[in-house]
Amino acid sequence: MGDLGSRGFLKERAWRMLVGSHRHSTTTTRAGGRYIGQTFNSCCWSFLSFSRSRWWQSWDSSILGICAKSRRNPTGGKMPCSGFWADRTPVHEAARRGEILQLQQLIESGACVNAVTYDSITPLHEASLRGQTQCVKLLLAAGAQVDARNIDGSTPLCDACASGSIECVKVLLSHGAKVNPPLYTASPLHEACMNGSSECVQLLIDVGANLEAHDCHFGTPLHVACAREHLDCVKLLLKAGANVNAAKLHETALHHAAKVKNVDLVEMLIEFGGNIYARDNRGKKPSDYTWSSSPTAKCFEYYEKTPLSLSQLCRVTVRKAAGQRALEKIAKLNIPQRLIQYLSYN
């Protein structure tokens, strides 16, 4: 089995055992995917002594033998379309590189468009992640599953939003891609906010994306946009009715803005009703994350001494009552156009 004391070798093996993935980097993410970081690293250390045992060597050899058999087709025909141990296929590579002619030839020769890799990535994931619009169209026309999920729970629509390809997003949506995934997983809107693609954010809002979708790692899309300092995305979310005081472990978007020390972001959140006195799970207010006498600290100090005006507070209250899709609801109010513009932050 070679040098079982090698940390690199053990991390590779432990990673495959833990999550079934051939990607073993703990410092990078793929389309918003989240690897198991601390849990994975701690498991590697306990895995070190276990991997030296003869029982493990015997068990490992048996497993490798089973895997090798599962990859062989006893009938001599084509390999199965999918399976936990399936590796990358030529279809994956053609889709990733945008090689349309080669992809067309592979499909015509009977190659499976829904083949999956170790981490359940399909060719449609690859094409979407790299913004290969024509390949996306070709795969969908050949029967690719539009809402296939990889090991991180990401769909091709998530990957398209991560790439910022508005054309890919439009194609996937036109083929019925779901804009709102199950609870506590990253949504396409999270990915668009993480990438800073305001076009994708606006499109997703228009088709009904849940502004309060909560990812167990990142919180709401507003948390993500603030943490990445994408002001255009933040403004789109807030104007559409995102809850400015939504909390993840009691941490609000304003806490994120304070941590990144972005004065413009802090001012925007406060103008939309951000609570400067909100405390996170450490009992800290947003201002507690700023340096004394810094521009951000002075901004918080100003708003503590100069609260929002009555008209501003009324606007915040009306918009809070409107909730999600605030712009749509406000536009239908039977009030003067000037007030509608004011309530819409125009």
Report whether 31 contacts 158 (CB < 8 A). Answer: yes
Pair 320, 195 in one domain: yes
Question: Is residue 62 a part of any domain in this protein?
Answer: no
pTM of the model: 0.74
Distance separating the N- and C-terminal Cα atoms of the chain: 67
Place of tokens 């925007």: 268
Look at residues 144, 178, 212 and tell me which one is the last residue of a structural domain: 178
165 & 204 share domain:
no
237 in any annotated domain: yes
On whether both 342 and 222 belong to a single domain, the answer is yes
* φ, ψ (nearest 5 deg) of residue 251: -95, 125
**Cα–Cα distance between 98 and 167 in angstroms, integer?**
14
Is 166 a domain residue? Answer: yes
Query: Do 89 and 115 meet the contact criterion of CB atoms below 8 Å apart?
Result: yes
Q: How many residues does the chain have?
A: 346
Question: Could you tell me if 195 and 341 lie in one domain?
Answer: yes
Residue 76 lies in a domain: no
The domain boundary, picked from 148, 178, 208, lies at: 178
Query: Does residue 249 fall inside a structural domain?
Result: yes
67 within domain boundaries: no
Q: How far is CA 22 from the centre of its chain?
A: 20
Helix (H, G, I), strand (E, B) or coil at 219: strand
Answer yes or no: do 187 and 335 share one domain. Answer: yes
User: What CATH code is carried by the domain that includes residue 294?
Assistant: 1.25.40.20
The number of domains in the chain is 2
The residues pairing with 184 across neighbouring beta strands, listed in sequence order, are: 215
3-state DSSP of 146-197: CCCCCCCCCCHHHHHHHHCCHHHHHHHHHCCCCCCCCCECCCHHHHHHHHCC
Q: Clarify whether residues 172 and 197 are in a common domain.
A: no
Residue 221 near residue 204 (C-beta atoms within 8 A): no
pLDDT in tens, the chain (346 residues): 444 333 343 434 443 444 333 333 333 344 444 333 434 434 443 443 333 333 333 333 333 333 333 333 333 333 444 443 347 899 999 999 999 999 999 999 999 999 999 889 999 999 999 999 999 999 999 999 999 999 888 999 999 999 999 999 999 999 999 999 876 677 999 999 999 999 999 999 999 999 999 888 889 999 999 999 999 999 999 999 999 999 988 899 999 999 999 999 999 999 999 999 999 999 999 999 999 889 999 999 999 999 899 999 999 999 989 888 888 899 999 999 999 999 999 8
Residue type, 11: K
Specify the 3-state DSSP secondary structure of 89: coil
Give the domain extent around 111.
84-178
Residues 248 and 303 in one domain: yes
Q: Based on the domain organization, do 154 and 100 belong to the same domain?
A: yes
Q: Which amino acid is at 214?
A: H
CA distance 33 to 326: 31
The reply to whether 187 and 138 lie within a common domain is no
Angle CA 272–275–279, to nearest 5: 150
- On whether both 159 and 224 belong to a single domain, the answer is no
Residue in 94, 120, 88, 122 with CA at minimum distance from that of residue 107: 94
Is residue 7 domain-resident? no
Q: Among 154, 178, 202, which residue terminates a domain?
A: 178
Asked if residue 339 belongs to a domain, the reply is yes
For residues 157 and 201, state if they share a domain: no
Q: Are 160 and 211 contained in the same domain?
A: no
CA angle 303, 309, 312 (to 5 degrees): 100
